[in-house]
Amino acid sequence: MGDLEIRDLNQSFARDDGSRLVVLEHLSLAVQDKEFVCILGSSGCGKTTLLRMIAGLDTAASGSIILDGEEMKGPSPKVGMVFQEYSLFPWRTVIDNIAFGLEMKGVAKEERYRVAGQYLDLVNLSPFRDSYPSELSGGMRQRVAVARALALDPVLLLMDEPFGALDAQTRNMLQQELLEIWEKTKKTVIFITHSVDEAVFLADRIIVMTPRPGRISRIFEIDLPRPRERTNVEFARLRRDVLDLINQHTAIQ
């Protein structure tokens, strides 16, 4: 299972001048099991803050995050995360990075290498098993990061602009791969991006946020069949609609 419910989340930070910067305001959202949700918004709209709270890395001022009926307090092995920057441990080989979570869980060496090997296969990087992250390209590193997050078999996978630093070709390729992995593993995915194209390509639902204070502006249901064609007329129309909305927010700012 991977049903996520976010209830009335609020967060604000104190500014240097004593005023408060409201980052999230009365944010409520339900994400269904096995759903692929993209959160979209211009920078500073609080989308990363929201994701970090779901991950348990930050605490909300008020509100609650409930995963499969359980309130989340702090990081949990039920939630995997792929970060924006390169977060692989550079002192560990690819296989030892993927096996890290299992090692922390106390899984025996042989078993954790067997499981990690499966996820290595899943991201098509078996030949790089014993390489160090510094020997991999940016795209490969993020694929390892996906495998590492999946190795603990979480019900919810959080992704914070994971492909943001990659070139367009690699990015498109990884989006395709991610969808294949998602089909196979059927996790609930919350994916943050500020690429409208990426969101329309990946998501079941796109959640557009307004900046400061961060609120949900509109939710787009994308029911185009996968694999989606970027040149498709409907695809282009959706992309334009989402982009228009985001441009409005930016103009208001």
Partner 1 sequence: MGRHADTNGKDWRLGVLAVLLAIVIWQFIAAVIIRYPFILPAPTDVLSAFISLLQTGDIFLDIQASLVHFAIGLGLALLVGIPFGIIMGWNRRFESFIDPLIELLRPIPPLAWIPFAIIWFGLTSFSAGFIIFVGSVFPIIINTYSGFRGVPRIFVEAGKMLGCTKDRDLIRYIAFPAALPSVAAGIRIATGVGWMCLVAAELFGVSNYGLGQKLWFFYSLHQMDSVVVYMILLGMIGLAFDMVFRYYIDRHFLKWRTGEVA
Q: Which residues bind partner 1 (CB under 8 A)?
A: 55-57, 74-75, 77, 79-81, 83, 85, 87-92, 100-101, 103-105, 132-135, 148-149, 152
Q: Rounded to the nearest whole angstrom, what is the least distance from the CB of residue 110 to partner 1 in the complex?
A: 19
What are the strands of the beta sheet with 79-82, ordered from one edge?
79-82, 156-160, 188-193, 36-40, 205-210, 215-221
Torsion of CA 193, 6, 49, 187, to 10 degrees: -50
- By beta-carbon proximity to partner 1, the closer residue of 85 and 229 is 85
Is the Cβ of residue 149 or residue 192 nearer to partner 1 in the bound state?
Answer: 149
Q: How far is the CB of 177 from partner 1 (least distance, A)?
A: 21
Nearer to partner 1, 185 or 232 (CB): 185
Which C-beta is closer to partner 1: that of 9 or that of 55?
Answer: 55
- Smallest separation (angstroms) from partner 1 to the CB of 235: 33
C-alpha–C-alpha distance, residues 147 and 26, integer Å: 34
* Cβ closest to partner 1, residue 142 vs residue 210: 142
Q: Tell me if the bond preceding 227 is cis, omega within 30° of 0.
A: yes
The least CB distance from residue 178 to partner 1, in Å, is 18
CA distances from 164 to 91, 132, 215 (A): 24, 22, 23
Strands (E), the chain: 4-14, 20-31, 36-40, 62-67, 70-71, 79-82, 156-160, 188-193, 205-210, 215-221
Nearest distance, CB of residue 123 and partner 1, angstroms: 16
